[in-house]
């Protein structure tokens, strides 16, 4: 399992790095691919079936949302969600009239997928679109990778106290603290040793690292809670040793909006 995780990382990490470096349409297309695989997995997890009407609406919803973000036509976001809400509402009425099937909860869960994946992944694209977006996006991914790596290895080796046993039994307090502490130490050291490369003051680097760590764990727990509710172990198997795209990118879901607003409020764009 560990070997598979390492091999997958050796393939996946360079793809992410190159995508961030080139930015523009290339990063947008990479995210578009990732988000459509993620919504495919989400549809499987919530058991609506990827050939269903709701699944098609989900794919179109997240795709159009990313396109709107890329074009920076933010005024179209609310109309998009109104259209999606209307489509879901009509679907409910149709099912109740024709099939005598009440599907409010099914439609609401499907729409939640567009918000959960579309909006949160959209912040990654918004971050990269900024003038210094490559640096900010690299910092975000570096923080996630440092946190996840430290939490995994320390948790496996020395984890004793369960962090959230009802949601994610394998997570430990020791692993959580190691991930947070390791990220803070690396970011703080980078701010001191490489100020020309890591363009954040030491205090800002600590806040950034702490925020990324906290929200990475919350994003991980959010996806774990979803799988626990639906009684699913992994969201998929496309990434050997990691599971699905949702399993691999869950940590970045909530960390991306945090990073975006951190840099925004810090006056960095």
Q: Which residue has the higher pLDDT, 97 or 108?
A: 108
Can you tell me the mean pLDDT for 60-70? 96
Residue 210 · residue 180 · CB < 8 Å: yes
Cα distance between residue 38 and residue 207, in whole Å: 29
pLDDT of residue 240: 57
pLDDT of residue 32: 96
Q: Which residue has the higher pLDDT, 5 or 25?
A: 25
pLDDT of residue 258: 97
Can you tell me the mean pLDDT for 139-157? 90
pTM, to two decimals: 0.91
Query: What are the two backbone dihedrals, phi and then psi, of residue 243, each rounded to the nearest 5 degrees?
Result: 100, -130
pLDDT of residue 192: 92
Nearest alpha carbon to residue 173 among 207, 227, 234, 217: 217
- The mean of the pLDDT values for the chain is 87
The DSSP line for the chain is -HHHHHHHHHHHHHHHHHHHHH-HHHHHHHHHHHHHHHHHHHHHHTT--TTSHHHHHHHHHHHHHHHHHHHT-GGGHHHHHHHHHHHHHHHHHHIIIII----HHHHHHHHHHIIIIIIHHHHHHHHHTSTTHHHHHHHHHHHHHHHHHHHHHHHHHH--SEEETTTEEEEEHHHHHHHHHHHHHHHHHHHHH-TTTS-S-HHHHHHHHHHHHHHHHHHHHHHHHHHHHHT-S-S-SSBTTTBSHHHHHHHHHHHHHHHHHHHHHTT--
pLDDT of residue 13: 86
pLDDT of residue 52: 82
Residues facing residue 137 across a β-bridge: none
Kindly tell me if the per-residue pLDDT of 4 is higher than 70.
no
Cα distance between residue 27 and residue 222, in whole Å: 25
Model confidence pLDDT, tens digit, residues 163-201: 777 887 778 888 899 999 999 999 999 999 988 777 778
Model confidence pLDDT, tens digit, residues 225-248: 888 888 777 666 666 555 678 888
């Amino acid at each position: 399992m560990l070997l598979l995780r390492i091999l997958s990382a050796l393939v996946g990490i360079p793809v992410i790095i190159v995508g961030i470096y080139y930015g523009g349409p290339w990063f947008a297309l990479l995210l578009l691919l990732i988000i459509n695989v993620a919504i495919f997995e989400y549809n499987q997890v919530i058991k609506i079936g990827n050939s269903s009407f709701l699944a098609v609406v989900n794919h179109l919803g997240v795709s159009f949302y990313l396109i709107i973000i890329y074009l920076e036509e933010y005024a179209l976001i609310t109309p998009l969600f109104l259209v999606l809400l209307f489509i879901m509402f009509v679907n409910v009425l149709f099912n109740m009239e024709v099939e005598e099937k009440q599907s409010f909860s099914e439609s609401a869960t499907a729409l939640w997928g567009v918000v959960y994946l579309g909006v949160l992944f959209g912040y990654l694209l918004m971050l990269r679109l900024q003038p210094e977006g490559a640096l900010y996006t690299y910092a975000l991914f570096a923080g996630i990778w440092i946190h996840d790596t430290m939490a995994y290895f320390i948790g496996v080796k020395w984890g004793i106290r369960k962090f959230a046993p009802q949601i994610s039994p394998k997570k430990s307090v020791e692993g959580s603290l190691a991930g947070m502490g390791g990220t803070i130490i690396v970011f703080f050291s980078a701010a001191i040793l490489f100020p020309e490369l890591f363009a954040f003051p030491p205090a800002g680097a600590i806040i950034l690292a702490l925020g990324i760590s906290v929200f990475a764990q919350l994003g991980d727990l959010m996806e774990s809670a979803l799988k626990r509710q639906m009684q699913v172990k992994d969201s998929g198997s496309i990434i050997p040793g990691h599971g699905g795209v949702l399993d691999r990118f869950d940590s970045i879901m909530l960390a991306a909006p945090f990073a975006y607003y951190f840099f925004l409020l810090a006056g960095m764009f």
